[in-house]
Amino acid sequence: MKKLDAKELLDRYLSGNCTEEEQALLESWHLSRTARLHTDLSMDDRSQDLDEVWERLQLPEERPRRISLWPRIAAAAVLLLSLSAGIVFYLSKAPKNSEAEQMAIARTIVPGGNRAILTLDNGTQISLSDAKAGTLASQSGINISKSKDGQLVYHLSKVNKPNSYNTITTPHGGQYQVVLPDGTRVWLNAGSSLRFPLTFDHLNERKVELKGEAYFEVAKQLKEETGKQERVPFIVMTATQEVEVLGTHFNINAYADEPAVRTTLLEGRVKVFEQLNAKDGMLLKPGEQAVLKDKLSVAKVDTEEVMSWKNGFFRFNESDLKSIMRQASRWYNVDVVYEGNIPPVKFTGEVPRSVNAATFLEMLRYLNIKFKIEKQTNTRNKIVVSL
């Protein structure tokens, strides 16, 4: 592998054209330098450092080895994350001692995982986080099992009694996937719950109740009347709206602490009703999002950003700080408060949800966002944010 000029290597990294070895070199160099330097690096300093590391990597007895404290996309995110004014990756100072202590605490705050509680119709609660794969319960003719990949699956074994409901709830720091009795697949984000019947009415509608955020892939179901080929509508109720579905893929964000309820259509068609039990609704096309705040509006959106949580990423596209920290609060199970006036700055970037809070906050520190972590009497930490 030939030796590269430092600036050329940095340019290639930013453009996504680095080889595996080049990327490993740059990431490991950056992580080691920012961990111990207390002054900004000039381009000459960076070039000299890279040259020294490169020379060591050329020794015959040494084989270049990938050293990374986070997946490559996260390292790229730190490079690419920016204010609207531009990239500021190399403009921040390394942490002082107090900041280093804070980062050490932040490293103990782990990301969320597959955690949920299933509440049966009789009130029995089952921790899905602790349960082993296999059958979990049988009730009213329904067998409930946990698959090897962590899904909750319902199997109808006989006709069960009507009006029996289950609720699956994800805590802050949790997510889960469930296959409903009709075959519909649902992914629940952190701090969410879904209430659903054990069997659906095949003649009229399938109705579930959502709090928080979930992505749905609705199974096709036809009415059982003779000669009828009509689909049974799938209805999602939130605290403020109804969404009627005729077999489709869509996402609903209905957290109580968000300023609006957002319904995003990826495939098929849905109709969004501004109020519960309303007669007239707004039909969405794929790639559109209905936003219910003071009134219902529809606009084209970046569906990759909307679905990033399901795909294992935080993805921000001109997002404000408070919106970002609401996501962090739910995923890392922390309280977030603010000191002083927080200006409406916008952020763009992407980082895996698999990283711990230290890596997430490090991303913000490079943008001159200050934070401190305070222990509380309960099990949740508190992050104090300021600019």
- Asked whether residue 319 is domain-assigned, the answer is yes
Name the β-bridge partners of 374.
382
Write down the residue that tokens 């330097």 correspond to: 37
Residues 325 and 357 in one domain: yes
Interior/surface letters 83-116, b for 16+ CB within 10 angstroms, e for the rest: eeeeeebeeeebbeeebeebbeebeebebbeebb
- Across residues 318-333, what is the average pLDDT? 93
- Asked whether residue 187 is domain-assigned, the answer is no
- Across residues 18-42, what is the average pLDDT? 53
pLDDT tens by residue, 291-312 = 999 889 999 999 999 999 999 9
pLDDT level of residue 337 (50, 70, 90 thresholds)? very high
pLDDT tens by residue, 149-191 = 888 888 766 555 667 889 999 999 999 999 998 889 999 999 9
Q: Which of 176, 210, 227 is the last residue of a domain?
A: 176
Residue 36 in this model has a pLDDT that exceeds 60: no
pLDDT level of residue 118 (50, 70, 90 thresholds)? very high
Percent of the chain having pLDDT more than 90?
36
- Asked whether residue 183 is domain-assigned, the answer is no
Note whether 115 and 174 are within 8 A (CB). yes
Residues 210 and 296 in one domain: yes
Return the sign of the alpha-carbon dihedral for residues 350, 151, 156, 123: negative
Q: Which of 122, 143, 176 is the last residue of a domain?
A: 176
- Asked whether residue 294 is domain-assigned, the answer is yes
In the prediction, which pLDDT does 48 show? 60
Residues 87 and 51 in one domain: no
- Across residues 253-272, what is the average pLDDT? 95
Name which residue leads in pLDDT, 312 or 346. 312
- CA–CA distance from 344 to each of 200, 271, 296, 319, 323 (Å)? 46, 33, 24, 9, 11
- The pLDDT mean for the chain works out to 77
- The number of domains in the chain is 4
Name which residue leads in pLDDT, 139 or 26. 139
For residue 280, what are the domain limits? 200-301
How many contiguous H segments (helices) and E segments (strands) does the chain have?
A: 8, 26
Residue 125 in this model has a pLDDT that exceeds 70: yes
Percent of the chain having pLDDT more than 70?
69
Q: Which of 176, 208, 227 is the last residue of a domain?
A: 176
In the prediction, which pLDDT does 268 show? 93
- Across residues 232-254, what is the average pLDDT? 91
Name which residue leads in pLDDT, 202 or 339. 339
Question: DSSP class of residue 122?
Answer: T
Residues 217 and 151 in one domain: no
Neighbours of 205 (CB within 10 A): 12
Interior/surface letters 317-343, b for 16+ CB within 10 angstroms, e for the rest: eebebeebbbbbbbbbbbebeeeeeee
Residues 284 and 321 in one domain: no
Q: What tokens were used for 342?
A: 């927080």
Report the Cα 157 to chain-centroid distance in Å: 35
Note whether 214 and 187 are within 8 A (CB). yes
pLDDT tens by residue, 265-299 = 999 999 999 877 677 889 999 999 999 998 899 99
- Across residues 323-349, what is the average pLDDT? 89
- Asked whether residue 62 is domain-assigned, the answer is yes
3-state helix, strand, coil in the chain (%, to 5): 25, 35, 45
- Asked whether residue 194 is domain-assigned, the answer is no
CATH code for position 93: 3.55.50.30
Note whether 153 and 186 are within 8 A (CB). no
- Asked whether residue 186 is domain-assigned, the answer is no
Note whether 296 and 290 are within 8 A (CB). yes
Residues 15 and 48 in one domain: yes
Residue 41 in this model has a pLDDT that exceeds 60: no
Distance CA(243)–CA(86), nearest Å, equals 39
In the prediction, which pLDDT does 343 show? 76
Residues 320 and 268 in one domain: no
- Across residues 239-260, what is the average pLDDT? 92
Neighbours of 119 (CB within 10 A): 16
Name which residue leads in pLDDT, 9 or 166. 166
Residues 213 and 171 in one domain: no
Region of residue 20 (phi > 0: left; psi between -120 and 50: alpha; otherwise: beta): alpha
- Asked whether residue 195 is domain-assigned, the answer is no
CB-count burial class (<10 Å; 0-12, 13-18, 19+) for 117? middle
Residues 142 and 222 in one domain: no
Residues 123 and 99 in one domain: no
Residues 120 and 101 in one domain: no
Residues 19 and 101 in one domain: no
